[in-house]
Structure 1
Amino acid sequence: MLNWFKKTTLLCAASSASIAIGATTPTTSNYDSQALFAPLSLPNSVNAMRSGAGKPGPLFWQNQVDYSLKASIDTEQDILSSKETITYTNNSPDDLTLLWVQLDQNMYRKDSRSSIASQWRSSNFTDGYQFDKVTVIINNKHYDADFLIDDTRMRIDLKNPLAAQGGKLQLQIDYSYKVPGTWGGRTAVTPSKNGKIFEIAQWFPRMAVYDDLHGWNNNPYISSEFYLEYGTIDYTVNVPKDYWVVGSGELINPEEVLTKTEQKRLAKAKKSEETVYIRNKADINNPDSRPKDDQRLSWHFKMDNTRDVAFAASPAFIIDGAKINLPEGKTALAMSAYPVEGIGSTKWDRSTEYVKANIEHFSTWYPYPYPAAINLGGHGAGMEYPGIVFDGMQDKDDLLFWITAHELGHNWFPMIVGSDERRHAFMDEGFNTFIDVYASDAFNDGEFAPKRDGEYAPKGGNPVDEILSVLADNEAPTLMAPAEATDEKYRHSVAYFKSALGLVLLREEILGPERFDPAFKEYISTWAYKHPSPSDFFRFMESAAGEDLSWWWRGWYLNNWQLDMAITGVEAIDDKHGKGTKVSFKSNQKLVMPATLRVQYSDNTHEDIRIPVETWMRTGTPSVVLPVTKTIKRASLDPEHKLPDADRSNNTIDL
């Protein structure tokens, strides 16, 4: 990435006089200081659940969901069957007369809302979930619940309300579904040279979130993102014995599903700084490389403090791993699983190296909490789940590094910090892209830096300029627009890039790393495994970093305002306050930012002076008087091109 932030100091010198000059600027301006700096009312108000400091309040609550799943895959018919037990704890202050359950696999039905409305619609379909009944267990009593399936939602009517503040019940659901082919995208069965690759995600009925902001969050799923509760998920996957399974969480029974050789290799990988092969190319299609007893094996995994799990299964996998070094001497396992199609010195041979380095880097923000981090080379959906990500078996070079880093970064946003990514994609994709930027800088002395996403920033371009067309587009959505209401034309440029750039600008140009970094780290720690809203984030950063940022939230997040700051004049003055140089500015657009003013002198020296945002609080045509009397030959605003200024032609005056 570009060197986004360089510390500047106010250097004052006194010598010879300067001369006055004017610059041509537009005669009209869209700037209104009273609008930009007006008191800001955030979307969610302060109350006992969420404090004015952006933290969980004294009455904050969150419901908990634990899952037990016993799944089996018919690898001939591509059908997954499972027995599910959901343990639901109602910590809310409300008695619940009904429950809502998400049925993501129903999006693949021909009559689903997704099939009709989604921009990603397909001509292939399944019948979605198949099940006959739902059993409710409460106070050791069982009954068959009345339920209604509507698209990707199931409403379960309870005979008696589930008590507030700790009421608990269980739901038992037996179900099956046809695994989509490669057209399934995020969950699919994909052919490879040595067998099918099952990428299994969004595979079990999951409880909708009931929270203090919206009650039940039960909108139909149309292939966008997720909002899920936290808990423990214990699951087993039964597959033919020649299949390997990699999944979210910790493998509980390696002695039952791995050979002695594989167990030794796995143990070695957990302690190795270098990549160790656990299952190599020679093991594929070799019967001696798998346990010799049963025809099918059940792989048992468990994951705590998680909102979801996913897994992949195939006889075609090469498996390798290495140790991840975490803060306070803790470790985790970096692992990659991919078919022979991924072999190559610039391809998946380096995947575990990328996993290890990125998890270690991201852990400087908040320690990685899970026992393993897995990169799966399969269909290539580029999709994230807790502890495992799905990428493409043909990915290579910088693309493989960037997509690995990006998908793994989602373990922090939204897997650890559980924002509502269905409503607020910028808190998911944007926050994650932000930490990607620095991960690219950190890896192997910047081997793949700067972080670039080809959709918005071709190599060689300045990232801050790539956002200019979006800011100038009257039809572009704001960062607060719901993810599912954002046209694909703007999805990447707004939710990913504008959001990430907003944090880079906040860190590098508005607050500085010394204030931003501790605040952002504390935000992650405070909201780990909880559900913050945008209002919580805005309040938290202001309180922790010590800055009123209302103008920034208003212009960059709540609106799509442009920035165009100009220098209109440089004039020598001599009045009762003394001699100096007056520099005059003008804002032609609605947004302003703190900026660096570089004054270059006739003796070929220069100094950088920070012009704070408060300069613009009363007027759109401010002037600042500098205690400078040396001869000036040039004055430049934002000389290092750090800001997304719409018109840089008015940023410089040559004398």
Structure 2
Amino acid sequence: MKRIFTGILFVMGTVGASFAQDIQNNPGSNHGNKFEQLGTILNTPNEQRTASGAPGVKYWQQRADYNIKCELDEKNLMLKGSETVTYFNNSPDVLTYIWLQLDENEHSSTNNSGYQSSSTMPKQTTLQGIDRTEVRNSDADNGLGDIITKLTDGTGKKLAYTINKTMMRIELPVPLKSGQQFIFNIDWNYKITDRNTVGGRGGYEFFPGDGNYLFTMTQWYPRLCVYSDFQGWQNHQFTGRGEFALTFGNFHVQMTVPADHVIGATGECLNYAAVLSPAKLALYNKAKTSTAPVEIVTLADAKKAEGAPSAAKKTWVFQANNVRDFAWGSSRKFVWDAMGQNVAGKPVMCMSFYGKEAYNLYSKYSTRLVAHTIKSYSDFSINYPYPVAQSVEASNGMEYPMICFNYGRTEKDGTYSESTKNGMIGVIIHEVGHNFFPMIVNSDERQWSWMDEGLNSFVEYLTEELWDNKFPSKKGAAYTIVDYMKLPKNELEPIMSNSENIVRFGPNAYTKPATGLNILRETIMGRKLFDYAFKEYAKRWAFKHPTPADLFRTMEDASGEDLDWFWRGWFYGTDPVDISLDSVKVGKADLLDTYNQPKRTVFTPKIAPPSVNSFEDISKIRNRTDKSIVFQTDKDTATHDFYWKYARGLAGVDTVKFANLVKAQTPPVFETDVPTADDKAKYGSKYAYQLNFSNKGGLVMPIIVEFKYTDGTTYTDRIPVQIWRLNEKNCSKFYVLDKEVASIKLDPMRETADIDETNNFWGKSGEPSKFQVFKQKVGANGPARGQSSGVNPMQVATGSK
């Protein structure tokens, strides 16, 4: 609300605030850049992709259907397969060749991507580390990667092909015209690698304690690259970092494995009646309507299978429609539980697979988290469309349609640390959430990692917050990105960078975009506008291939907000937020009897009560005060464990409320008169303040000002970002208040990722609180990822230590 005095002069005095050098980010001008439209930075709208951000009337995308048969040779650690692929050319173009991905060549010493980074001699390493270095520095073939044994067309004629590192080009016998399809057959095999020594997303893990394996079969079959309207063939090699751009299609997959193995896979199993006993099948059917996990394969079953491996084989058959990939896990170690979750009237089977090493965590949380995640993501984006969602414990963290691999293991005594539990909750939500981004809203992860990881990390943050209001989310809240944003420019790159060229991958691809979206939602747009636009983006691009421009344009188109300034600064630049309160001018009203000018009656907004303690971000506070939100751990008391109670202390659940600022909406009343005695009495007690700000970081952002009055009450004003539009370096705001101000603080809830809080204060306010950020390190020979290690409070409380 604007507060305007007429008929009043102010006698001003300057009260000093800290001054700092004005950083000239654009020496030629102080305006006209940061608020300009993105223009030609974005791709030109066309009939495939419109200026509104929606798919155009001539949008198209390719399709590939797979019929795959494979066999897992556990003794020799080999996977052998054959597949028939039907490729549909829905593009307007004539194709003379097609490209496939051979991702397993990542491990080959001769056919890997060839990308190398600078390296140094380590102070200490492992024998395996020496072996890997020797192989990389030699021309010897380590025998890993895809071996193609046969390639023919649908009639059995041989096809010519060329393997270039992690990609394979098939020469088409005749050009493939628009609207036509091409069928080919390919046979292949490869040696399965040890994930914990060789690395990578798929492979095996060996458990020496019981002599068994856990297999995660991912990127395991030759698969089509994307051919799109915006880049033609996606031709970035697979280096192990940048993930996958894939074509939608239908999968029919038959997997032959040891008879005592249990398989979790993309899609629905078509032959449970053949691979499960009648008793196990009955438990599976019971789980469909259960509101709590039902163990189909129990812990006792799994331990029994571990001790007596079977020499027989079974074939499991799965069908998955309209998916971009297929993955599976297989082991005799698996406990298997399941429960149903209703999403928009449709049942979804939520399931988990895990070994005894994770039992005390996964049996309690994993399937419940799967159900919570698909329901929460559905509320924020689109309704989950698939019949199955699964979590597999594999000391890993990787996602595929309807299935993901996660970590979270306990001590041998079954206890676990709070960090292990919270890490497991976070990774399950994150990886299950990838079903939406990018498994359904199918961006090119190889080119724009943030459209996969960043968007998903943002909705992960929202989902974690709805799981438990006490959950310590590591990304999303603005203050969590500050340490990254304040790094020297030579250590940063824009979010809009190719995946392989990012130095600090986690903050750049995950945390910064997630934080930016949360700032848009909480501070710039508001939840209502943001949520509507974000859902519109998900609806428009479900089962399609969006680009960044499609997201940017849709968010503006559906909200009525011009956000080009935000995309330009946050996604295309590396400038941080550093808004300084340079000085404050203080004045008192001097009402002059001879000064006759129209004046307005001024309305003072209601003063909000104190907000919250400084350790909680604004999302937590708003969620807690939103009566429509019931946190999952409050709804399901079975999720309560030692740490749920531990986090709440003796006082129990925190029920502190934060009231939103209410501004008066009464229109001003105009009068023309000389000030009266009543006017003097009324306005002579007013306090006037001019706040002078400078933009030292370079990234424009709304200014949030908290006034603390001498009587102890507070008032917060939110100044829109457009205050910077005519001068991107300096601005000021004039206030007339009923009370005397004791101190002023910028960004009191740490909403804007301001990197320097020391210049955010005026008056007697205290110094900003400090908080510690650390990175957990695990040695080369340390525990598996997500393995609880060391004495934990749970052991002390339960007396096991």
Q: TM-score, normalised by structure 1?
A: 0.90
1:600 pairs with 699, 703, 708, which one? 708
Given the alignment, which residue of 393, 405, 425 partners 1:390? 405
1:208 to 225, 248, 258: 225
1 CA distance for matches of 2:700 and 2:233? Answer: 39
1:263 to 281, 284, 295: 281
Partner of 1:21: 14
Cα deviation for residue 43 of structure 1 reads 3.3
What CA deviation, in whole Å up to 9, does each residue of 1:575-630 have, x standing for no partner? 96868543322212311111222233334333222211111100122222334354
Q: Distance in 2 between matches of 1:594 and 1:189?
A: 50
- Separation in 2 of the partners of 1:16 and 1:321? 73
Q: 2 CA distance for matches of 1:18 and 1:75? A: 86
For the residues of structure 2 that align with 1:280 and 1:422, how far apart are their CA atoms? 39
> Which AA in structure 1 matches 2:715?
E
* 2:386 aligned to which of 345, 370, 395: 370
Tell me the alpha carbon deviations over residues 224-280 of structure 1, each in whole angstroms, 9 at most, x when there is no partner. 211001111111101121111110111111101111011011111111111110001
- In 1: Cα distance, 2:43 partner to 2:188 partner: 39
Aligned mate of 2:752, from 617, 620, 643: 643
CA distance in 2, matches of 1:154, 1:110: 17
Q: Which residue of 1 aligns with 2:316?
A: 299
> Offset at 1:556?
0.7
1:611 corresponds to = 719
State the alpha-carbon separation in 1 of the partners of residues 191 and 386 from structure 2: 30
Distance 2:738 2:104 in 1: 71
Q: How far apart are residue 36 of structure 1 and its match? A: 0.9
Q: Is the aligned partner of 1:331 residue 2:439?
A: no
Give yes or no for contact 2:105–2:165 (8 Å, CA) kept in 1: yes
Residue identity matched to 2:99: W
* Matching residue of 2:472: 450
Question: What whole-Å deviation, never above 9, does each CA across 1:317-375 have from its counterpart, x for those lacking one?
Answer: 11111112212x2121111111112222x455422222222222222122222221111
Match of 2:205 among 167, 190, 199: 190
Matches within 5 A, 1:276-287: 276-284=294-302, 286=304
Whether 2:437 is the aligned partner of 1:413: answer: yes
Q: Do the aligned partners of residues 73 and 151 (structure 1) sit closer, same or farther apart at CA in structure 2, a change above 3 Å counting? A: same
Task: Please list every run of 5 or more consecutive structure 2 residues that lacks an aligned counterpart in the other structure.
Answer: 120-128, 136-141, 411-419, 600-682, 765-801
> Aligned to 1:28, what secondary structure does the other structure show?
coil
Aligned to 1:413, the other structure's residue is in SS state coil
Q: What is the correspondence of 1:137-286 to structure 2 with a 5 Å cutoff?
A: 137=154, 141-164=155-178, 166-182=179-195, 183-192=198-207, 193=210, 195-224=212-241, 225-284=243-302, 286=304
The equivalences for 1:14-163 within 5 A come to: 20-22=13-15, 23-30=17-24, 32-41=30-39, 42-114=41-113, 117=116, 122=132, 125-137=142-154, 141-163=155-177
Q: Counterparts of 2:546 and 2:511 in 1: how far apart (Å)?
A: 21
Check 1:108–1:97 CA distance in 2 against 1; reply closer, same or farther (3 A cut): same
Partner-residue secondary structure (3-state), 1:543: helix
Q: If each structure's strand is expressed as a fraction of its own residues, which one has the higher value?
A: 1
Letter of the structure 1 residue corresponding to residue 434 of structure 2 = H
Aligned equivalent of 2:357: 341
Determine if the alignment matches structure 1 residue 628 to structure 2 residue 644: no
TM-score, length-scaled by structure 2: 0.74
Q: Aligned pairs, how many?
A: 628
Q: Highest Rg: 1 or 2?
A: 2
CA drift at 1:145:
1.2
Query: 1:320 maps to what in 2?
Result: 337
- Report how far residue 643 of structure 1 moved: 1.4
In terms of mean alpha carbon deviation, does 633-642 or 280-289 score higher? 280-289
In structure 2, relative to structure 1, the CA distance for the partners of 1:333 and 1:505 (3 Å cut) is: same
Question: Once the 2 structures are TM-superposed, how far is the Cα of residue 492 of structure 1 from its aligned partner?
Answer: 0.5
- 1:33 Cα deviation from its structure 2 partner: 2.8
Relative to structure 1, is the Cα distance of residues 86 and 323 closer, same or farther in structure 2, using a 3 angstrom cutoff? same
Q: Given residue 216 of structure 1, which amino acid in structure 2 is its aligned partner?
A: W
Partner of 1:485: 501
Alpha carbons of structure 1 residues 289 and 86: separation in structure 2 relative to 1, 3 Å: farther
- The one of the two structures with greater contact order (alpha-carbon pairs below 8 A, sep at least 6) is 1
Residue 646 to residue 371, structure 1, CA distance change in 2 (3 Å): same
Identity of aligned residues (%): 33
1:91, distance to aligned residue in structure 2 (A): 0.8
CA distance in 2, matches of 1:297, 1:68: 18
Please report the RMSD computed on the Cα atoms of aligned residues, expressed in angstroms. Answer: 2.8
Q: Displacement of 1:195 after TM fit?
A: 2.0
State the alpha-carbon separation in 2 of the partners of residues 605 and 129 from structure 1.
69
CA distance in structure 1 between the partners assigned to 2:103 and 2:24 by the alignment: 46
Q: Deviations over 1:405-453 (max 9, x none)?
A: 111111111111101111101111111111111111111x335x13126
